[in-house]
Every structure is written in C-alpha cells, then in structure tokens.
Structure 1
Amino acid sequence: MDSVSEAQFELDQLRHQARKQLLGTVVLGVMAGLLAFVGQSALGQARPLLESSFGTWQSLYTVVLWALAIAWLVALIQQALHYQNISEQFESRRRLDAVYAERAAKAQAVEEERQRQRAESEARQAAERNRRLNKNSHSTKFDFWQE
C-alpha cells in the first residue's frame, strides 16, 4: 500500500470509531433520560420518608439532572464535531487518492505512448538499415571489377 491509501485506511478506522463514540453518547443520553424518570419516580415514592426536606431533595435532583443534561449535550456536540472533522478529512483524502490515481494513469499512458513511439522509431531505423544493406548487396553491372 502507498502512504495515501494507508492514511485513508487510518482515517476510515478513525471515522468508524468516531461514529461508534457518537452513537454511544446518544445511547448514554437516552439511558440517562430513562434513569431520570426512574429516579423521579423513586424520589416520589420516598416522599413520606423525606417529608421535611422533600423540596430540597427534589430541587437538588433537578439541578443534578440539568447539569447532566448540559454535560451530555456538550459531549454530544463535541462527538458530532469530531465525527464531522474526521469525515471531512476522509473525503479529502479520498479525493486526493482519486487525483493521484488519475495522475498515475495519465503518466503511465504517456510512458506507454513514449515506449510505443520509441519502438516504432527503432523499427523504422532498423528497416532503413536493412534497406540500405539490401540495397548495397544487390549486384551491379560492375561487380566483376571489385573482385
């Protein structure tokens, strides 16, 4: 593999990891939301035990839920931006690979054309040499004088 393909492979792996992390963040947020409802229900059932300080407990629980929701939202935004950044790098690398492959194909075509022209030129030169040699090997009416 060349370095560009290796870089693209690594970016693809990073993109898959970022996607999994983003999905994990969403799943954790959904689970936290479900646990918030369960916690609210449990707090409501414990109301007789906490009658004197129930309002304080409920306010504290609400503040903690809002803090967790904000932290989750920040984490979700961060993961989404990370995934978007990796995806953009991956697409950029894919476009670069396409450009490099196109350039390599053009260079190979030019080289093949050069080799074809060189072979044709050599064939023409060889034919010209053969023609000259054959022309010189024909006898002339004065061959007997040369012996």
Structure 2
Amino acid sequence: MKTPWHVWVVGGVSLLWNSGGAIDYLMLRFRVEAYTGQLTEAQLGFFESLPVWASIGWALGVWGAWIGSVLLLLRSRFAGTAFALSLLGIGVNSIYTYGLAGAEVDAGMGAVQAWFAVAIVVITAGLLFYARAMARRGVLR
C-alpha cells in the first residue's frame, strides 16, 4: 500500500512537536543553566522535588510520544502503543502535578502553562487515534 501523504505530514509535525518536549526534559534533567535560568525559583523547585513515580510518568510521557512519532514515520504499527504509553505517563505525572502538589504548582504555573498542559493531552490523544486508524487501514505494518 502506498503511504498517504498525510502520514508524512502528521509524522513530521508530531516529531517536531514532541522533540520540543524531549529538549525541555533534557534541559531540565541536566540542569542546563541557560535554560533553567529562565525559570522562577518556584518552577525550578517543583521540578527538583518531583517524587520518583511522577518523574517516571514525566519521562514516559515525553519519550513515549517522541518514540511514537519516530515509529509513525517508520510506518510501524507500534506507534499507537508508544502514544498510549505516553498518555499513561502523562496521566501518572498529572496525578501528582494537579492532584497532590497543590500550592507548589499554583506558584509555578500560570494560565498559559495550564492550557499548554491540556493541549499536550489533546494532541497526544489525537496522535494515538490517528496511529490506530492508520494501523487499521494497513498503512502501518
């Protein structure tokens, strides 16, 4: 089956989008001063105080989505699984971020960041549904 043009567009745009998340993750994890210097003390403190299970969720969310994008471009049927794992990771991290962290999040997150978090979930869910649809059509093997 010939690969539809939109697979390349969705795969390419999703890889760019998810690379942004991967860069953010690496910059924060490796504490790159040029990057972390732009954060407030409250924001930096939040990331440094994440419990291990929330950090694992964050990593799974970021890297699952990035790998899903690569797998989509490789036309692998496992792209959907990677996006599903990403959503699981986002959910785990969100339990801490929005359910347990409380005032720490309120101090470091404004309205823009809150809407951005919603956009991440919506886009990742969209990519999951897209990858599954392409797998059902036989585009992903």
Please state which band the TM-score falls in when normalised by the shorter chain: 0.3 to 0.5
Q: What is the TM-score when the length of structure 1 is the normalising length? A: 0.35
Q: What is the TM-score when the length of structure 2 is the normalising length? A: 0.36
- Give the structure with the higher percent helix: 1
Which protein is bigger by CA-based radius of gyration? Answer: 1
